[in-house]
Amino acid sequence: MEVVPLPEHFDVVVIGGGPGGYAAALYGASAGLRIALIEKNKVGGTCLHVGCIPAKELLETATVYRHVAGAKEFGIEAGQPTVDFAVTQARKQKVIDQLFKGLSGLLKQRKITVYDGHGRLHAERRVTVDGGESGEVELTGDAVIIASGSLPRSIPGFDVDGEVVLTSDEVLSLEEVPSSVAVIGGGAIGCEFASMFSDLGSQVTILEALPKILPGCDSDAANVVSRSFKKRGIEIKTGVKVGGHQPSGKGGTTVDLGEGGTLDVDKVVVSVGRRPNTDDLGLDGTGVKLDDRGFVQVDEYCRTGEDSVWAVGDCIATPALAHVGFAEGIAVITDILGEDVVPVDYGKVPWAIYCHPEVAFAGHTEESAKEAGFEVVTSKHRYMGNGRALIIGDADGLVKVIAEKNAEGNGGRILGVHMAGPWVTEQLGQGYLAVNWEATVDEVAHFIQPHPSLAETFGETVLSLTGRSLHG
C-alpha cells in the first residue's frame, strides 16, 4: 500500500515574502511561532527588488548629480557631470543584494522554513506549493496569512513592451538615461521618476488626468513640488486623457494627448498605480473573498471571511506602502497570538515621497479636516527662513500644521503635519508622533529643536499656532 505523506504542519503559513509577508514571518518567529514562508520569486518582494529600494537608490544618484552640478555655488569647480548608468545600476544592485542577503540570513536565523514556489490556499487551511525549487509540497497551518502583493497596472492604448512603454519594473533596470520621457500619472511614484529623469538630464513631461499632481497630498505641499518641477523644466500637463501612442519612426513614439495634441518622446513610463496580485491564489472552498477590483476582502483586523486566514499588504485595499504591510504583519501576528490588537489607523500612517523636493505627511490635510467637520487653524513656515536650509543650499519648501481650533482661537489637537522640502522624509517623525499621540499644540510647542537644523521649521510652525511666535 502506498503511504501518502501527511502535509507538514506549521503554526503559521505565509503566502508571499514581500514586506507584509516577511514582517509577519519574522515577528511571528520572534514570538516563538513555527512559520512557513512561501515565495515564488525572491524574498523582499516588490519593495526590495523592483520598488522602494531600487527607486530610492536611483533617486540618490540623481541627488548626487544635482549636487555635483551645483557645486560651483560653493566654490567647488567640478565641471559638468556625466552619468555612467552601468555603474549606477551596478551600485543599485549591490544595495539590493546586500539587503537580500541580510533578509535571507535573518529568515534562516529565525528558523523560518522558506519554500520556493507558487502557493495556493485550499479548504481547511491546506496550502499547496509548486512550480519552484521546492517542488510539489503540501502544508497546513493553524493560521494562514495571504501576502501576495501587487503588480504594475497599465492603461488601454499603452501595452507594456519594456522597450518604449515601461512600468516601474522596466524603468528600474534601464541601461541608459532616455533623452525624453512622458510619465503618465503624477502620483508619488510618477513624480519620483519625473524628478530622477529630469535631474539626470532627460526632458520630462508629466501627463496627469486629474487637475493637479500628487492628489491626496495637501495642496500647499503639492504646489511646492509643481513649482519646483516647472522651474527645473519638467512640463506638467494636467487634465490630460491620453489616448494611445504610435511609433514615431525615430525609435521613440508619439503620444496622443486627446484635445491636447501629441507629444514625441523616447520612452513612456506608465505610472497609474498597481493592482492586487490575487489572480491565482486558489481559494476554492474557502471563505476568502475578493472585491470587484481583486483585493482580498478583510475587516479592520485584516481577517478574511475564512476562519484563521488573514491578508496583509498590497493585496488588500489599504495604503500600498511597505511600512503599512509591516504594521499589518505585526498586527496579524498579535491577533494570532490572542493578544490585544490595535488595528492600523490608516488615516494617520506616514507618507514619504522622495522626489526633489521631498514630501512627507501624516494625518489630515486642511481640506480633509474641514470635510471631516473640524474647525481648524493652520500655520505654514517656509524653509527660506531656516539657517540650515540656506547652508545646504536647499531652501525651497514649507511645513504646514493643521490643528483643531481651541476655545481661544489658537491651535488645539494636532490633526495633520505636511512637509515639502529638504530631507522632509527624515523629518516627519516628530509630526507623525504628534498626530498619532493626538498631542496638542501646547504640548509640542515647548519642545526644543537643535539649532541650526531643518527641524526648527517644524518647531516654529507649531509655536505660531499658540498665538505667539519667534521668527514667524
Residues of this chain that interact with ligand FAD (CB under 6 A) are: 15-21, 38-41, 45-47, 51-52, 55-56, 118-119, 147-150, 168, 189, 277, 281, 313-314, 320-323, 325
Tell the smallest beta-carbon distance from residue 381 to ligand FAD (Å): 26
Q: Which is nearer to ligand FAD, 350 or 422 (CB)?
A: 350
Handedness of CA 309, 315, 320, 322 (dihedral sign): positive
- Residue 446: CA count within 13 A, CB half-sphere: 3
How far apart CA 330 and CA 27 sit, in angstroms, is 6
What number of other Cβ atoms are within 10 A of residue 131's Cβ? 12
Q: Which of 9, 67, 122, 451 is catalytic?
A: 451
Q: Do 179 and 266 meet the contact criterion of CB atoms below 8 Å apart?
A: yes
Q: Which is nearer to ligand FAD, 190 or 411 (CB)?
A: 190
Written as nine digits, the cell of 385 is 527662513
Residue 351 CA from chain centroid, whole number: 7
Is 245 a residue of the active site? Answer: no
Tell the smallest beta-carbon distance from residue 121 to ligand FAD (Å): 9
Q: Which is nearer to ligand FAD, 236 or 311 (CB)?
A: 311
Tell the smallest beta-carbon distance from residue 281 to ligand FAD (Å): 6
Q: Which is nearer to ligand FAD, 139 or 415 (CB)?
A: 139
Handedness of CA 279, 285, 286, 288 (dihedral sign): positive
Residue with cell 512627507: 360
Q: How far is CA 193 from CA 181, 188, 400, in A?
A: 10, 9, 25
Helix axes 424-436, 456-463, angle to 10 degrees: 40
Q: Which is nearer to ligand FAD, 166 or 445 (CB)?
A: 166
Q: Which is nearer to ligand FAD, 15 or 441 (CB)?
A: 15
Q: How far apart are the first and last CA of the chain?
A: 85
DSSP H or E segment with residue 6: none
Q: b/e per residue, 301-328, with b = 16+ CB within 10 A?
A: ebbbebeebbbbbbbbebebbbbbbbbb
Tell the smallest beta-carbon distance from residue 396 to ligand FAD (Å): 21
Tell the smallest beta-carbon distance from residue 38 to ligand FAD (Å): 5
Tell the smallest beta-carbon distance from residue 42 to ligand FAD (Å): 7
Active site residues: 451
